[in-house]
Structure 1
Amino acid sequence: MHQLTTVEQVHDEGSYLFTAEDRHGDPEELVVVPCEDGVEAWRNRCTHEDQRFDTGDGVPMRDGEIICPRHGSLFDACEGDCDNGEAAGTTLPGVGLAERHGTVFLLDEDYEFMHEGGIDDDDGPSSTSHLQL
């Protein structure tokens, strides 16, 4: 179980983005968003065309719903369900969390925490080539 953030921070900042390794060893961006009674976590991808919600500026939200920046589909931030737009009838894949005394922990056995921020925000090598011609 890895400590991620606090409920207060997610509510103050609107969301929390982190990268975790999935069960296949691949990095996956995950987001924690505010809900009425705490927080919930989801894959950082719309179920329609795999569009990222948080592209570096936080998850776009309105009235307790996550907004897909590409087509405007709205997902309930607490349940993950979508009932409009291109993603209607789908549900976001959830991520298991635990909350203890206002602190949020990654509890999902399918993910291992790598770092805060998106996949490209780590300290690894950049995508620019070091080859010289």
Structure 2
Amino acid sequence: MAPDPDRRIAPLDAVPADTTYLVTLRNGDDDPREAVLVRTDDGVAGWLNYCRHLLDVRLDKGSGAPMRDGELVCANHGAYFEADTGYCTFGPCEGATLEPVDVSVVDGDVYLTDDDYAFVETGGIDDGSAGPSPTSNFEF
């Protein structure tokens, strides 16, 4: 069965190997939610774009989340999350897991396969704020 073209997120080549790819999704009639796509050894994984330490902190603030040795890094708290499992291996939320968003790669394209969400657009939610993004509390 061919994938639904309305659920196509991006070409696989658009998902970088060293950071994240930000998208906006919608869960039913709820407000839009941000998610990130990350490269893994097996393809691509999708996670809601919120740190498990404080859920109002985004991992990807619009220019890609930092990654170190195959793990997503929360620049605010220094938490490390395995890219393929979402499991936090270090930081204030150690042992927690990012909220998954099911995606799959078919014929060189990434598709949203999570029935709980609809694809809205690439990029983050435009909240109308033009102010500076939060600064990191963690130094590398």
**Whole-angstrom distance in 1 between the partners of 2:38 and 2:72:** 9
The normalised TM-score by structure 1 is 0.85
CA RMSD between the two structures: 1.8
- By percentage of residues, which structure has more helix? 1
Q: Does 1:68 align with 2:74?
A: yes
In the alignment, which residue of structure 2 is the partner of 1:35?
Answer: 40
Q: Does 1:9 align with 2:10?
A: no
In the comparison of the two structures, how many residue pairs are matched?
A: 124
Please give the alpha-carbon distance, in whole angstroms, between the structure 2 residues aligned to 1:74 and 1:80. Answer: 9
Structure 1: 5+ residue runs without aligned partners?
A: 129-133
**Equivalent residues of 1:6, 1:102 under 8 A apart:** yes
Identity of aligned residues (%): 41
Work out the CA distance in 1 between the residues paired with 2:32 and 2:75.
22
1:45 to 19, 42, 50: 50
TM-score by length of 2: 0.81
The answer on whether the counterparts of 1:7 and 1:34 sit within 8 Å (CA) in structure 2 is no
The structure having more radius of gyration, on CA atoms, is 1
Equivalent residue, structure 2, for 1:100: 106
